[in-house]
């Protein structure tokens, strides 16, 4: 099992798009980051890397590496899934909780779970909750996500 976490602040750059769980949410304020700042994909990737004992996201996809500037985080997640598979593991399932005040994720959760599940080739559960006004996330300054991943030795 592995635990992943990611957090990004909101961006004031009107050219950026909000992407969560691989789904573009039009008309919403985007997150700041080196890649597309998809906190959901990043947290899942970190959980998978941790479960396989392969370090963390920064070890493989440094935010100083220009190759990943503006990258689609589903591509990063696919690369992590391949790394995990190359070590002889398969993903059993992933569960994540996104913490944000807005926008509402309920209309997008099924699509997020489907896209993420397609990338990791396993069931993915996406849940959302609010910080109830507490801290930076509660003040609407950004979005955070926690993820847990179960991996098992691949059957061959």
Q: What is the CATH number of the domain that holds 42?
A: 3.30.1330.50
Helix 109-120 to helix 39-51 angle (10° resolution) is 40
Secondary structure class of 110 (helix, strand, coil): helix
**Digit-coded pLDDT (tens) for 31-63:** 999 999 999 999 999 999 999 999 999 899 888
Inform me whether the pLDDT recorded for 131 exceeds 70. Answer: yes
Number of structural domains (the chain) is 1
CA distance 59 to 74: 17
pLDDT given at position 70: 83
Q: How much is the pTM? A: 0.96
What confidence score (pLDDT) does residue 66 get? 86
From the list 64, 61, 120, the residue with the least C-alpha distance to 89 is 120
Pairwise CA distance, residues 118 & 60, whole Å: 22
Can you give the residue range of the structural domain that contains 6? 2-153
pLDDT more than 70, % of the chain = 99
Q: How many CB atoms lie within 10 A of CB 69?
A: 11
Is residue 156 over pLDDT 70? no
């Amino acid at each position: 099992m592995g635990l992943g976490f990611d957090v990004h602040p909101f961006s004031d750059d009107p050219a950026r798009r909000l992407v969560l769980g691989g789904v573009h949410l039009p008309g919403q304020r985007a997150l700041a980051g080196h890649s597309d700042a998809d906190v959901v994909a990043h947290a899942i990737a970190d959980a998978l890397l941790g479960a396989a004992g392969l370090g963390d996201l920064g070890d493989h996809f440094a935010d100083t590496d220009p190759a990943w500037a503006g990258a689609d985080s589903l591509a990063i997640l696919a690369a992590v899934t391949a790394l995990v598979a190359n070590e002889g593991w398969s993903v059993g399932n992933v569960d994540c909780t996104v913490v944000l005040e807005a926008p509402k994720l309920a209309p997008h959760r099924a699509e997020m779970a489907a896209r993420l599940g397609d990338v990791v080739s396993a069931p993915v559960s996406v849940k959302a909750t609010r910080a109830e006004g507490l801290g930076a996330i509660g003040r609407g300054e950004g979005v955070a996500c926690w993820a847990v991943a179960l991996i098992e030795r691949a059957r061959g």
